[in-house]
Structure 1
């Protein structure tokens, strides 16, 4: 690996993210005393605002230099995490959440721009895959550390966990300056990516495929708890299966997606595999415990393979079609598409899959399949241009 600093940045920052994710919601509800409904509404609203501004955040990387913006996003995350410690009401919580949401979207777009700038074209997808593996390891370690804070359960333990997260994020921001400086474009801000209709259509479809995140963290746990006869700890088993599969296979399955054709095919396969996962889930409310467990594992394997291919497809396409000088802007659009998937996923999946049962999963399966099959279609123009070169 020619860029160990990128791995270290991903690992350290995501240890902090995993630690914060495991304690922050319980901290603001059980220690601060905010109502869970208010917390949910605040999360949705602030994420929506950040998603709407993600292209602008990507443009900042082009305008100011991707490395500097990358470091600044970690600084903003650290400051906002410290702010969580001092939250005392819904308005102060919204301010902290908005800063965290903006920093997260800005981190995603500037990270992509930094990798594009400092890594040779032939290695970008491999590096990005390795960075994602490091991120998954980091989240797992952070969640484990958060478990100690949850075990103690005191307000002080929660606050120490949040302040530790802030410290890790500050360290990460300093690590960014070990990377080479990325020259700023220095041109006026523009919205060129919005006029690239095929790419914007692709990112819309990719956002639909990115609802797989909500499947794993929201829909499947609720489905297991309310519609199957398996023990609730099966949720943890599926999360472990997912994490291990990403660590083991992300790099291998990303190979070949550095070409636009390979990225388009990966998007199609991702949609079909996520469709298969939904089809398997649709029958798990009808089976007995042992069969249900086997089917849930099968669905988890199809899901994680689709997840890996979806990520590789989005990376490969966003790098392949971005014109010189607009990489940050295209990475911002990439982050926006994925953010939309994160935003609509929980609502759609909970509103469709859970009330409708097996029929609901069949409908979600169709949505994933259509999104996957349309991915090469919307990229047809770019694929033709590549073939003419």
Structure 2
């Protein structure tokens, strides 16, 4: 077992700092380059506010704006659909103009639209504010993709896994802030959180402005404009991967309803399950991503993930009708297995996302990838509600089987894609 470096009394403070920094980099706890650290810090600040906002926006709309539950759901659905349309064109713009400046612009727009929510007093004002926020958010994701690819260098899977761990950690702190606001439950508290989220966009921009500007990469002259949408193998990958990403909603959406409506387990188990999932992702995602380089290996990781999802969901499904303590034990095992699957899937998915896209069009391809994930989050609540909650045990097994089929199909899509591009399993 490696140990943290020790230093003698005659070592300088600079040497101590360098030694500890080197040890942290080796352990995967610190990124090696300055741009990578800045991008990770900006992502942490951004996700911190976003997570808190997403957890409280329905209550803000209900308590402060005085909308009905139906209006809140409709408004958020409209915003989610609107957010899907901007990723591809903005990603193309990032490829042609440089991703950093476009990303900064989307953050500033989100800061303004989020702050405008404080002035919303009607349904359409609410819809406009959240729709512009979602539109800029999806645009920012498309612009961020090329930055991850180019600042990640030869270690894109490791870098992206680090970013996912950071995002999960930020989401945990954001959820805690949201919980405190919901406990206070006053207009002032909700407004303070909205304002705080607006400030996180500015804070993220303040970090990113220190990054070096990335110049656009040259593209072939005879290449069409919307190449990502015409790339059938990549679109097939996005469809399959979007189905696989439904797994991210299993523990946050389906499990809480399953625990409350179909098992004898105590309700506090939901918080414990999410905490275990978060800790596993934060500490194991980087390690899981090591060695997953190239299309074949990434496809195998996604295939393993599908099998793990079926196993984990099958175990969770058996908790119905068991005594409370037995249900907790069974479901915790299922949660752990499901989380292992999510680690494999994330590592494989994020490798393929960049591996299958040409370097000069990462923004446009990131927009297509983001649309697939966006559609997943639109579909997931209804699908999981029908299968896992309404149908019960057979539905859990059917959803798990869908993951298996998608995972098994992924290597064939990768082979199809490999006929027209280089996806060899070697470091680049």
Q: Give the TM bin, normalised by the shorter chain.
A: over 0.9
**Please, what is the CA RMSD of the aligned residues?**
1.9
Among 51, 61, 71, which residue is 1:38 paired with?
A: 71
5+ residue gaps in structure 1? none
CA displacement at 1:225 relative to structure 2? 0.9
Q: Which moved more, 1:373-382 or 1:203-212?
A: 373-382
CA displacement at 1:76 relative to structure 2? 2.0
CA displacement at 1:189 relative to structure 2? 7.7
Q: Distance in 2 between matches of 1:56 and 1:217?
A: 31
Correspondence for 2:400: 365
Q: Deviations over 1:56-81 (max 9, x none)?
A: 23212112211112212222221221
Does the residue aligned with 1:326 lie in a helix, a strand or coil?
A: helix
Which protein has greater RCO, CA pairs closer than 8 Å, 6+ apart? 1
Does the residue aligned with 1:211 lie in a helix, a strand or coil?
A: helix
* Residues 159-238 of structure 1: pairs in structure 2 closer than 5 A: 159-185=191-217, 190-238=225-273
Among 126, 143, 157, which residue is 1:125 paired with?
A: 157
Among 88, 91, 102, which residue is 1:58 paired with?
A: 91
Q: Which moved more, 1:96-105 or 1:166-175?
A: 96-105
Correspondence for 1:86: 119
The answer on 1:243 being equivalent to 2:243 is: no
Q: TM-score, normalised by structure 1?
A: 0.95
Q: Distance in 2 between matches of 1:388 and 1:358?
A: 39
CA displacement at 1:213 relative to structure 2? 2.3
Q: Which moved more, 1:170-179 or 1:305-314?
A: 305-314
Q: Distance in 2 between matches of 1:286 and 1:114?
A: 49
Matched positions, count = 388
Q: Distance in 2 between matches of 1:18 and 1:214?
A: 14
Distance 1:314 1:151, change over 3 A: same
5+ residue gaps in structure 2? 1-30
The answer on 1:15 being equivalent to 2:48 is: yes
Among 362, 382, 390, which residue is 1:355 paired with?
A: 390
Q: TM-score, normalised by structure 2?
A: 0.86
CA displacement at 1:185 relative to structure 2? 4.8
CA displacement at 1:379 relative to structure 2? 0.9
Correspondence for 1:101: 134
Q: Distance in 2 between matches of 1:145 and 1:355?
A: 32
Runs of 4+ more than 6 Å apart: 186-189
**Which of the two has higher C-alpha Rg?**
2
Q: Distance in 2 between matches of 1:361 and 1:217?
A: 15
Among 302, 306, 330, which residue is 1:271 paired with?
A: 306
The answer on 1:304 being equivalent to 2:339 is: yes
Q: Distance in 1 between matches of 2:162 and 2:232?
A: 30
